[in-house]
Structure formats: C-alpha cells, structure tokens
Structure 1
Amino acid sequence: MPSQSHPPLTRRMFLLSSGTAVSVLALPKIMLGAAPVKPAVVALAFDGDAVLAAGSDLIRSDDGGSSWTALPIPAAVLALATHREQRGRILASLASGGIALSEDGGRTWEGRSRGLAAGKIDAVALAAGRPDMAYAAVRGDGLWKSEDAGQSWSLAMDRPWLNDAERDLLALVSVDLATGMGGIWIYAGTPVGLIRVPDCFCRWQDVQPGNAMDALVSGDAPPSQAPLPGGEPIHALASAPSAPETVYAALPSGVWTSRDGGVVWSQLADRFASAVAVHPANADHIVAALDGGLMQSHNGGATWSALAAI
C-alpha cells in the first residue's frame, strides 16, 4: 500500500472521574410492557451467556433477552468489547470521549484512557488469548493498543490507505488464526471495506488466502472470489472464539459470514445491520441489530427470531 506522511499526532489524556469507579446499589429493570422508545443499537457483545446492547443506554440481559437491566455507564456507548477468558470484563468507548472499563459485568466503571490520542473512539477490541491486550480505533488518527487493560496506551498503526485516501476504522476484532504472525490478526472494518493487520503491525493487508508472511512478500494478491460487498461501510465485526475461522460482519446490506477467516463471504440477512455479536462458546449463536430491532439465531443465521423489545 502507498505510504503516507502525517503531521505530528496530538496526545491528550482522557480520564473519567479521575479513575474513580461509578457504583450503584441496585439496577433498574426495563419493563417489557411499558413500550419504551426503542433506541438505535450501535454495539452488541456477549459476556459469557449474557447479552449486552448499547445505544443511548447500555443494557444487559442474563436470560436470553427476555428481560433487560440498565447498566450505569457514565455516557452513551459507541463500541463494546468483551473476552471469553475474562468474564465480567467490558471495555466501552464513550460518545463523550475516552474509554471505560468494567470488571464486574457493567455494575461499576473506571476510566482507562491515559495516554490515548484525542478523538472519538469508533471501535474497541480485546486480543484473542490475551484479555489484557486492548485495541482502540481513534477517529482521524489510527489504531492504538494497550497491554495492561487500558491503563496506558501507545500508537500501533496509522489508518489504512484505501481508494486514494486514509480511512477510519469503524469496527475491530482480534481473530486467532494460524495464518497470522504468532497466530493473531486484527481485522478492521472501514467505510469502504475490510482490511487486516497481523499483530506484528507490519502492514495493513487485504484479506486473502495464505499466511501473513506470504502476503508481505508477494504484496497485493488476487482478490477473493467472494468478498464482502465493495464500497459499503462495515459497522461491526465479530469472531467466534470457539471457531476462529468463523467471522461475522454487519453492513448496510445485512449480516454476512465467512467460514474461512474472511476470504469467502455469504449473506445471512438482507436488512440494515448496525451491530452483530457471537456467543463465546457457540459459533452458531449470534445476535444482530437489524432495522433497529434485535434478532438472534442459534443456527449460524439460517433462521432468526426476535428478542424481546428493549
């Protein structure tokens, strides 16, 4: 990819409440019969069996979506990340700026933005196999990483150069594939398509067959026979921890899946998708925000059912 020079980055510290945890004694239940105004869902995640949904509020269901609990997040959420090996840990980027971390399933929070660049954080992820390794996509800046669960941050990569322009990262997911450097890739959704980088942060690459070293040596490879639709923004990405080759993507054209690490894609739902998440122990159990409603599938998207209204 062509290289691009950048002006020096501005560094600014974000701290939420000076790092003080926000606590509550009891969490209100959202009454299903009250017909509340339905917010747009911008992020979904699984915390173990529990489902998290973020929009103007962050809510949690521990009963498969039959009822929901509002969580006391300090501000509206833009993105979420959880980890199979660290149940209760939730990383959230906030519309007000910065990142918050919960270690108890969302009941208390503290700021985790020290050293992170100024700007909206459009996506966050926790590394496959390394729950203390976090990634954040800063709008207008690039990909940042933390090796201590957000206690400190450093720049990992500039934004990718795609279609004659630098592109922001709208979605992030860490994928544990044998083809990556050390087995790990960071996949990113952009306004114009899918990109990825091995965790050596060597170079942004198109998703293609073969391993990371082959791609670095050969440069551009022939395009996939069945890629994601070109030119569409990718709103969300999810990798199945129990089957890392299975990846899901949420696009304006719907929910898509790949069973080979993102080389060949097929469409599962053809309605506007703003978010998608996959169960940590079941690669076929997914939830998605479709046309503003929450849907789930237990068979990899072959059939869908509606979750209770939120």
Structure 2
Amino acid sequence: MPRKSLPALSRRMFLVASGIAAGALALPHSVLATEPEHTAISTLAFDGESLLAGGANLVRSDDGGQSWTELPAPGPILALATHPERPGLVLAGLASGGVALSEDGGRTWESRSDGLPEGEVDAVAVASRQPDMIYAAVQGDGLWKSENAGQSWSFAMDRPWLEETEHDLLTLASVDLATGMGGIWIYAGTEAGLTRVPDCFCRWQDVQPGNAMDALVSGDAPPSEAPLPAGEAVRALASAPSAPETLYSALPSGIWTSRDGGVVWSHLVDRPASAVAVHPSDAMQVVAVLDGTLQMSRDGGATWTALAAE
C-alpha cells in the first residue's frame, strides 16, 4: 500500500471527508508513513506515550514521531482531547459538526453528538478529575458539557464577552488548580485572548493572581502580572497533567508557557504556533506545530527538534 500524507487544509476549509455513521467505524489496513503533512495538522494530543495529530486525516505515532500510522478519521478534526488516567480515550471535535469518541486510541469511533446543536466543534476537553465529564465548544453557540461521556449534553456557558463582543472558543483545557470550584478550572483561548471559568460556570474571568475564587466572589480582580499579549488569538492550550499549574499556549507570536496557572507567562519561541500538546507524565516534553512544522521539546521549550525531516 503506498504511503499517504495528510492533505493541506485551513481551520475553516477542509477537504471533503466522510461523516461518521452511527456505531463504530472499523479500522482499515494501517498506512505507515515516515511523517505527517505538517501544514495539515489542526490539533495535537498525547494518548499515553503515543502522539495523535488531527486535521482532514488522523495519524498516530507510537515511536516519538519517527513514523506514523493513518487511522480512520470520523470526519475533518478541529480538536482532540485525551485523559492520562484512561489510556485509549480520545475525544474529537469535528468540522462537520458534532463530537466523536474513541476508546481504543483512535482506531474506531462512535458519534456522541445527540443533544448538541449544529455547528463546528472548535474545541473539546476532558475534565481533569472525571474522564466521563467532557466539554465541547460549538461555533456560534457556547460551551456544552456532558457528564456521561457524550451520551447526553447540557448547555454550560455562553461565549465570553471580550473587547465589546462575544468570542468563540478556539481551544479548551481542564486545569486542576486548588482555586477552582472543586479544584477545576476550564481555561479557554479565543481570538481576543485567554479567559477561564470555574466549573460552577458562574462567569468567565481573566486569570488573576492569588485566590481567584475569592476575587470572583468579591468582585476584586487584580490584573495578571505578566499576561499573554493583549488581543492576540490563543489557538491552542495544554495543561501538564503531571504539573497542572504548568501551561503551554500556541499563539501567532509563538509558544508561551506559565508555571503558575497562567498568571505569569514567558515567551519560549518567536515563531507562529498553531497547535501544542504536553506529555501526560513529563511536563517538560512538549510537541507543537511551529511555522507549519511539527517540533518537539524535551526541556520545557528551551530547545526544539523537528520530529521528521521536511
């Protein structure tokens, strides 16, 4: 069988791909490729030690990005999410609308869209402490949640009001921090920057120093000490499961990191970034799409290496 690569696509324009049918999709014969087509990657995620890259197609690497196996995509993929305590669980947000779920690392899929409104699902997340609690951001609508792995859905939150208008959620991350309700925050990236909401879903707010729940109740909102660039789109977010206060974000200005839950950010890479993922047990191992190329860092973003030759 000849080698295949992911076809090129943008976030809003995708090649025609077959939609997911009810029930599971069977795994066809694997296609082993030396590398994915990096410009086609919309989203990245670690499933244990393995790396998933999604776009018009879906590919998986089990050897650190040296070789790739093409998997059956449930449709053009905008977002992927996994959970460190449940290997094989993969959640996909689809450009054709809806959510698909795999329990075998992306080899077969089931639709989990009943109850979701129509529209592109730009972002998905799995709750950091509850693998059956999942979130989906529907373009033009808002944030939805499911407490039973997508068997049913309920509306959680309107889109955030930033810079005098509502903004769609481009990326989501469930972050396990002591200042959240029950320890959980939902961080979101938008075209206008970063915001977050505790899992009480009371209101979107800026990331603040100190006990942010006290600030939420009192209305006192001290500014972040070193925030992400104002008004810049946050294309991707990743919280390190082994160190939840460690965050990585992908922006047009590059890769940024925070070691304190998003209060202080440092600029790691000055190249346009569109996707980022962090290893579930090593907060220093990061993969990102930089200038359209797939890169890995094993030292928290200080140095980067291409995963395959261009």
Mark yes or no: TM-score above 0.5: yes
SS in 2 for 1:155: strand
**CA deviation after TM superposition for structure 1 residue 249, in Å:** 0.3
**CA deviation after TM superposition for structure 1 residue 17, in Å:** 1.3
Runs of 5+ unmatched residues, structure 2: 1-18
Q: CA contact under 8 A between 1:91 and 1:101: conserved in structure 2?
A: yes
CA deviation profile, 1:20-79 (whole Å, cap 9, x unmatched): 1000252111145xxx85433210000000011112211110000110011101211100
Deviates more, 1:291-300 or 1:219-228: 219-228
Distance 1:66 1:297 in 2: 14
Distance 1:29 1:215 in 2: 52
**CA deviation after TM superposition for structure 1 residue 212, in Å:** 3.7
TM-score by length of 1: 0.91
SS in 2 for 1:214: helix
Q: CA contact under 8 A between 2:96 and 2:119: conserved in structure 1?
A: no
Q: After the TM superposition, which residues 1-310 of structure 1 pair with which residues of structure 2 at under 5 Å, given as runs?
A: 16-18=20-22, 20-31=23-34, 38-309=38-309
SS in 1 for 2:194: strand
Q: How many residues align?
A: 292
SS in 1 for 2:283: strand
CA deviation profile, 1:156-180 (whole Å, cap 9, x unmatched): 0011111111111111000000011
**CA deviation after TM superposition for structure 1 residue 97, in Å:** 1.4
CA deviation profile, 1:277-308 (whole Å, cap 9, x unmatched): 00000000000000110000011001111101
Give the ranges of 4+ consecutive aligned residues of structure 1 lying more than 6 Å apart after TM superposition: none
SS in 1 for 2:105: coil
Letter in 1 for 2:276: V
**CA deviation after TM superposition for structure 1 residue 201, in Å:** 0.7
TM-score by length of 2: 0.91
Q: CA contact under 8 A between 1:50 and 1:62: conserved in structure 2?
A: yes
Which structure is higher in RCO with an 8 Å CA cutoff and minimum separation 6?
Answer: 1
1:37/1:126 CA distance change after superposition, 3 Å: closer
RMSD of aligned residue pairs (Cα, Å)? 1.4
Q: CA contact under 8 A between 1:28 and 1:70: conserved in structure 2?
A: yes
**Share of identical aligned residues, percent?**
70
Distance 1:203 1:46 in 2: 30
Deviates more, 1:217-226 or 1:95-104: 217-226
